[in-house]
């Protein structure tokens, strides 16, 4: 048995390979602890309490998108659709099994699993045409996919009662005898019970991190990065580029679907309009501001950007103007050479000190 030593643990946690991992898990656990303390001491405002689960959902879907955009190097504008599929499947399943499965935890797991799996299947199907393309053509196909999903969801009527499940497309041609509408066209899904809570959401985030890091550090992860950096060189040394990218895309869509299901379970209503092009763009903004391929950055950027519009509410009419300006300024500052250099040298001071200590 290996002798346990703090020093070894420390050097394991903070070596080059694992530091990102440690930081990411650290941030999430720290966030959880701080929030729990605030909740327990009744110091968390109503507003922030209502933002906890959604923030976690967006963190998960941003991490998922970062796999595709950051690691695989493909611009996807369709992740809102995966989230939407996961959300509607998750909500429909949780409503359907409401009376069958009395255990809440089990119901949540079933709903999230169902959302993830169905979203993953769609992810696989769309990855076939998508990954044959590149660059902006790939982006437009994912955007098209998003529009198609939205357009179809707007026309689905699904409900169940004692006589079974009823489904119709475009026009609702059934009436329910008691029972419940699962998907009601553009109205979506209403009158649901909230199941998600912050602990479930944090467990999902940790699980997502676990999957993402395992994928990145695996054989496939290296293949994906190699094919991102140079597709032709990668395929010339025998890497199956398409296979690696497909894996990445499908894992990403599964995670996004799970995030969607978690999102759906956190609200009493669900509408199709949410899962549009603008949501895809929002998620992309989280990823780019967090840094492509930067996992801890994505977590922090998503948290800040989800909270930002709420924190700017005191500006009333100028809120969205301020939000737009902040977005532009962050992009300009983070790409400004002078500021970058001075920031790096500032951090360099910390770094040197740290080396001295060690």
Residues 181-240 that bind another protein (CB under 8 A): 181, 184-188, 190-191, 230-233, 236
DSSP 97: T
- CA atoms of 259 and 193, how far apart (whole Å): 17
Our finding on whether 274 is near another protein (CB under 8 A) is yes
State CA 270 to chain mean position distance: 17
Size of the chain, expressed as the number of residues it contains: 358
Stretch near another protein under the rule CB under 8 A, chosen from 44-52, 82-90, 103-111, 245-253: 44-52
User: Whose Cβ is closer to another protein: residue 220's or residue 267's?
Assistant: 267
- CA atoms of 296 and 299, how far apart (whole Å): 5
Our finding on whether 268 is near another protein (CB under 8 A) is yes
Our finding on whether 320 is near another protein (CB under 8 A) is yes
- CA atoms of 138 and 128, how far apart (whole Å): 11
Measured CA distances, 187 to 175, 176, 190, 272 (Å):
16, 16, 8, 8
Q: Give the one residue of 81, 143, 205, 216 binding another protein; rule: CB under 8 A.
A: 143
Our finding on whether 117 is near another protein (CB under 8 A) is no
Q: How many CA atoms lie within 13 A of 315 on its CB side?
A: 11
User: Whose Cβ is closer to another protein: residue 26's or residue 203's?
Assistant: 26
Our finding on whether 328 is near another protein (CB under 8 A) is yes
From the CB of 54, what's the least distance to another protein, in Å?
7
Our finding on whether 29 is near another protein (CB under 8 A) is no
Instruction: Please give the radius of gyration of the chain, using alpha carbons only, rounded to the nearest integer.
Output: 22
Residue with tokens 């060690």: 358
Residues 73-92 that bind another protein (CB under 8 A): 75
User: Whose Cβ is closer to another protein: residue 141's or residue 261's?
Assistant: 141
Our finding on whether 152 is near another protein (CB under 8 A) is yes
- CA atoms of 127 and 247, how far apart (whole Å): 9
Q: Give the one residue of 109, 148, 165, 203 binding another protein; rule: CB under 8 A.
A: 148
């Amino acid at each position: 048995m290996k002798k346990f030593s703090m020093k070894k643990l420390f050097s394991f946690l903070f070596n080059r390979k694992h530091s990102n991992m440690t930081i990411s898990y650290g941030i999430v656990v720290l966030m959880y602890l701080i929030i729990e303390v605030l909740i327990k001491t009744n110091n968390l405002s109503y507003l922030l309490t209502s933002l906890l689960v959604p923030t976690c959902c967006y963190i998960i879907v941003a991490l998922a998108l970062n796999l595709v955009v950051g690691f695989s190097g493909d611009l996807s504008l369709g992740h809102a659709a995966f989230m939407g599929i996961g959300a509607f499947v998750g909500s429909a399943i949780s409503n359907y099994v409401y009376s069958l499965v009395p255990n809440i935890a089990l119901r949540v797991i079933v709903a999230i699993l169902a959302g993830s799996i169905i979203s993953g299947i769609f992810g696989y199907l769309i990855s076939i045409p998508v990954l044959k393309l590149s660059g902006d053509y790939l982006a437009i196909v994912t955007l098209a996919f998003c529009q198609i999903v939205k357009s179809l969801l707007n026309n689905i009527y699904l409900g169940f009662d004692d006589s079974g499940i009823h489904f119709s497309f475009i026009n609702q041609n059934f009436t329910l005898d008691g029972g419940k509408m699962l998907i009601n066209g553009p109205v979506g899904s209403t009158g649901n019970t909230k199941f998600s809570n912050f602990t479930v959401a944090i467990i999902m985030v940790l699980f997502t991190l676990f999957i993402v890091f395992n994928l990145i550090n695996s054989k496939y992860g290296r293949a994906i990065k190699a094919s991102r950096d140079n597709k032709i060189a990668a395929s010339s040394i025998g890497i199956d580029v398409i296979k690696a990218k497909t894996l990445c895309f499908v894992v990403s869509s599964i995670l996004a679907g799970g995030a969607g299901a978690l999102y759906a379970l956190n609200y009493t209503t669900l509408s199709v309009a949410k899962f549009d092009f603008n949501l895809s763009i929002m998620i992309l903004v989280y990823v780019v501001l967090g840094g492509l391929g930067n996992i801890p950055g994505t977590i922090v950027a998503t948290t800040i950007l989800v909270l930002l519009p709420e924190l700017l509410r005191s500006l009333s009419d100028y809120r969205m103007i301020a939000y737009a300006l902040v977005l532009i300024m962050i992009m300009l500052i983070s790409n400004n050479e002078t500021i970058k250099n001075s920031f790096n040298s500032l951090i360099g001071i910390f770094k040197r000190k740290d080396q001295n200590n060690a």
